[in-house]
Amino acid sequence: MNPIKVGLLGIGTVGSGTFNVLKRNQEEIRRRAGRGIEIAVVADLNTERARELTGGTVDVVSDANDVVTRPDIDIVVELIGGYGIARELVLKAIENGKHVVTANKALLAVHGNEIFEAARKKGVIVAFEAAVAGGIPIIKALREGLTANRIQWIAGIINGTTNFILSEMRDKGLDFETVLKEAQQLGYAEADPTFDIEGIDAAHKVTLMSAIAFGMPVQFDRAHVEGITKLSAIDIKYAEELGYRIKLLGITRRREDGVELRVHPTLVPASRLIANVEGAMNAVLVQGDAVGATLYYGKGAGAEPTASAVIADLVDVTRLHTADPNHRVPHLAFQPDELSNVPVLPIEEVTSSYYLRMRVSDETGVLAEITRILAEAGISIDAMLQKESREGEPQTDIIILTHLTREKQVNAAIRSIEALQTVLSPVTRLRMEELN
């Protein structure tokens, strides 16, 4: 059987990794796929570099439109990134009857509904294992491995840059800005790290996982997103004293009245496996009703880990290339006409436990006033830590951990607490998840 022909859009870090792994393991891959998989053409603006990386063994063009319209190309691998030209090229590839493999979580989180519908109408596949958690096969696990389960919730460390920063802040006691500069010098953070540190990248990924887990359209615009830029080293230290670690988590949870979809710094008990995921590693914890909790851990980025996921998709598409489109695994795991427009709950309706830190005057009655406000708001206290005031400084930090409560109740209580003259700075509020 003739090899299946692939057109590669972009030969940067992941593109070059894909080319090299496919070449190195071509015989193993052929045995698994049932036929050869061959990159026939590469599109990249830097054609000289592309020719150098491919050793002159494939066609190299500067215009990606030449690839998505070529009659001999069966699969287009989109590794350009972003929302703009990538969307145009993916839709054009689909219109020309090409299957698509992409690592572009931003594209699918924002335009996925349009792209999946276009692919359904043309009878082609859009595969995106590499879009979430790099080399960890979490999309396949959610779409296929856990298909018997009613997924209850997902919580993931799905951005290596922020996990590296939080690990360094905890280990070395450094502030955010110092560690960010270190991460940039080491290549863990981009020159413009906004998508990572503001939680946007993680939100793209958890949006896709949420859609697959709960059988609903992708709804990135409804996700609540907080990054780590305002996180203080002192809160990491206090969390540690209380038996918790702070991680930037992407969380999605099924509730009777809708679905929670959120990204934010989260206190997790230090005894949990996911709390001990350090450095630039990723981990995703999935709770199913039949299987219980399953944890997926590995490298979430990098040339060859991400290439591993890209090539796994290429193998899957090759196997299903001639299959009846109605017998393929649906893009979002559920049949397209069975997707449910479940409401994504606003953050005020989320139920969680909370870490509250407040700087207060060290005088009689302050704690009583704060606990009164919490009680009137219907908020139960789980634990409390009061730090000793420093000599000559009549101020102290009070840290309160709450039981489960609705966010709007916490917001109301914080407003009342901050109105007290004895509370000297805004209340720091972080959410907590037991993940048990």
Helix H, strand E, coil C: the string for 36-105 is CEEEEEEECCCHHHHHHHHCCCCEEECCCHHHHCCCCCCEEEECCCCCHHHHHHHHHHHHCCCEEEECCH
**Mean pLDDT along residues 131-158:** 97
pLDDT(388) > 90: no
pLDDT(415) > 90: yes
Sign of CA dihedral 373, 377, 381, 386: negative
**Mean pLDDT along residues 393-407:** 94
pLDDT at 237: 95
pLDDT at 3: 94
User: What proportion of the chain, given as a percentage, has pLDDT over 70?
Assistant: 99
Establish whether 205 is a catalytic residue.
Answer: yes
* pLDDT band at 81; cut points 50, 70, 90: very high
Cα Rg of the chain (Å, integer): 24
Q: What is the DSSP letter of 143?
A: I
Candidate list 5, 98, 205, 247, residue with the active-site label: 205
Strand spans (E) along 97-173: 99-102, 126-127, 151-157
pLDDT(323) > 90: no
Q: How many CA atoms lie within 13 A of 308 on its CB side?
A: 14
Q: Please tell me the CATH code under which domain 138-299 is placed.
A: 3.30.360.10
Strand spans (E) along 256-408: 258-269, 281-288, 292-299, 351-361, 381-386, 395-402, 405-406
**Mean pLDDT along residues 166-174:** 94
* pLDDT band at 393; cut points 50, 70, 90: confident
For tokens 């891959």, what's the residue? Answer: 29
The CATH H-level (homologous superfamily) assignment of domain 4-135+303-338 is NAD(P)-binding Rossmann-like Domain (3.40.50.720)
pLDDT at 229: 96
The number of helix segments (H) and strand segments (E) in the chain equals 15, 17
pLDDT tens, position by position, 223-267: 999 999 999 999 999 999 999 999 999 999 999 999 999 999 999
* pLDDT band at 326; cut points 50, 70, 90: confident
Q: How many CA atoms lie within 13 A of 145 on its CB side?
A: 13
pLDDT(39) > 80: yes
Listed by start position, the domains of the chain span 4-135+303-338, 138-299, 351-432
Burial of 318 (C-beta count, 10 Å sphere; 0-12/13-18/19+)? buried
Contacts (Cβ under 8 Å, ≥6 apart) of 391: none
pLDDT tens, position by position, 100-111: 999 999 999 999
pLDDT(392) > 70: no
In the predicted model, what is the mean pLDDT of the chain?
Answer: 96
**Mean pLDDT along residues 41-51:** 97
Distance CA 156, CA 139 (A): 13
Distance CA 1, CA 343 (A): 47
- Higher-confidence residue of 362 and 242: namely 242
The residue length of the chain stands at: 436
pLDDT at 1: 81
Distance CA 267, CA 246 (A): 5
User: What proportion of the chain, given as a percentage, has pLDDT over 90?
Assistant: 92
Q: What stretch of H or E contains 249?
A: strand 244-255
The strand pair at 151-157 and 381-386 is best described as: unpaired
Distance CA 378, CA 368 (A): 15
pLDDT(164) > 70: yes
pLDDT at 28: 96
pLDDT at 410: 98
Q: Residue 336 CB: number of other CB atoms within 10 A?
A: 12
Distance CA 22, CA 6 (A): 11
pLDDT(315) > 90: yes
- The CATH-assigned architecture of domain 351-432 is 2-Layer Sandwich (3.30)
- Higher-confidence residue of 389 and 385: namely 385
pLDDT(125) > 80: yes
**Mean pLDDT along residues 348-370:** 95
C-alpha distance from residue 428 to each of 226, 235, 265, 401, 414 (Å): 14, 9, 12, 12, 9
This prediction has a pTM of 0.96
pLDDT tens, position by position, 292-310: 999 999 999 999 999 999 9
pLDDT at 50: 96
**Mean pLDDT along residues 139-154:** 97
